[in-house]
Copies of this chain bind each other. A is one copy, B any other.
Amino acid sequence: MGVLERSHLTIIQEVAREGSLTAAGMRLNLTQPALSHSIRKIEQQLGVKIWRREGRSLVLTQAGEWLLALANRLLPQFDLAESRLEQFANGERGTLRIGMECHPCYQWLLKVVSPYLERWPKVDVDVRQKFQFGGIGALFNNEIDILVTPDPLYKPGLKFTPVFDYELVLAVGPEHPLRNAKFVLPEQLVDETLITYPVPSERLDIYTQFLQPAGIAPRQQKQIETTDIMLVMVAHGRGVAALPRWLVKEYASHFELYSVKLGKKGITKQIFLGHRETDEDIHYLRDFIEFAASPQ
């Protein structure tokens, strides 16, 4: 089995560097006899002479030169590894895996992530959107570290932090009769084409909190992946979409878009970040939550 250890390479390198066991011992915090015993053992375990005893100094043999080259190549990698691990230990390095259960939040997330990456140059961010057992399950399975969700499910071991509120509104185009309406009622959507993200309707607030309570369904539903395309369609009168008010406002600089309140009182949503309690000592994770919760 393997007998050559990192410590042996260190000794070989240091002895070659200092040229004497005594000096090398000083640097390694070992006594000269300790090294003498060590190198003898290495040599007989490997069955190779590593040094030629020349007078009172040690000169590397061919095999020794070869080992020295190996040491010079491998030891820096060990050192690097240890400094990396220290960063892991201090929570300075890692991958923050963020799960999303809220399609339109993607735009918001982007705005949070960019400055965060600046602050934590050694932390990578990974965003995932599909979960076999739901976002909460993904948190428990350790598939993700942070969950962006509008539905905090308070379970032991998990914690949720509210990060921002927004109002869900109906986005309509410039030709739409509702464009200047104070608000819209469910029955006003029976003849509309509703554009949504491609997820089950029980995960769309426009259904669960607006249409279904009134027993209404829109004439047609179109599913579109990306927010940009969705709003282009809306601006051209190909349908209407339920989105956060701030998102519609943002896109309004590019396309002509109007926001209409959903119902008399409007629909207000709150977004939470969920995380495992066991992760609370991870510095970069805690900072992400604090940073995200502070108003941008």
Tell me the A residues contacting B by CB distance below 8 Å.
1-7, 10, 29, 46-48, 52, 54, 59, 62-63, 66-67, 70, 73-74, 77-79, 81-82, 84-86, 88-89, 94-95, 142
Interface contact A63-B79, CB-CB below 8 Å? no
Name the CB-closest residue of B to A64.
B88
User: Copy number of this protein in the oligomer?
Assistant: 2
Say how far A293's CB is from chain B's closest CB, in angstroms: 24
Interface contact B6-A89, CB-CB below 8 Å? no
Name the CB-closest residue of B to A77.
B74
Known: A62-B95, A66-B88. 10 other contacts (CB 8 A): A4-B6, A5-B6, A5-B7, A48-B88, A48-B89, A62-B88, A63-B88, A70-B77, A74-B74, A74-B77
Interface contact A82-B5, CB-CB below 8 Å? no
CB-CB under 8 A from A46, the residues of chain B are: 82, 85, 89
Q: Would you mind naming 21 contact pairs between A and B with Cβ atoms under 8 Å apart?
A: A2-B78, A2-B82, A4-B78, A4-B82, A4-B85, A5-B5, A5-B6, A5-B7, A6-B6, A46-B82, A47-B85, A48-B88, A62-B94, A63-B88, A63-B94, A66-B81, A66-B84, A67-B81, A70-B77, A70-B81, A74-B77
Say how far A151's CB is from chain B's closest CB, in angstroms: 26
A95 to B66, CA, bound (A): 11
A66 to B62, CA, bound (A): 34
> Which of the residues B1, B4, B89, B95 comes within 8 Å of A81, measured between beta carbons?
B4
CB-CB under 8 A from A7, the residues of chain B are: 2, 5
CB-CB under 8 A from A94, the residues of chain B are: 62-63
> Which of the residues B54, B62, B67, B85 comes within 8 Å of A67, measured between beta carbons?
B85
Name the CB-closest residue of B to A89.
B47
Interface contact B1-A29, CB-CB below 8 Å? yes
Which 5 A-B residue pairs are closest in the complex by CB-CB distance? A63-B88, A47-B89, A48-B89, A5-B6, A48-B88
A6 to B74, CA, bound (A): 11
A29 to B2, CA, bound (A): 12
CB-CB under 8 A from A84, the residues of chain B are: 66
A62 to B124, CA, bound (A): 12
Say how far A115's CB is from chain B's closest CB, in angstroms: 23
Say how far A189's CB is from chain B's closest CB, in angstroms: 47
A85 to B88, CA, bound (A): 36
Name the CB-closest residue of B to A97.
B62
CB-CB under 8 A from A81, the residues of chain B are: 4, 66-67, 70
Say how far A86's CB is from chain B's closest CB, in angstroms: 7
> Which of the residues B2, B48, B62, B79 comes within 8 Å of A6, measured between beta carbons?
B2
CB-CB under 8 A from A47, the residues of chain B are: 85-86, 89
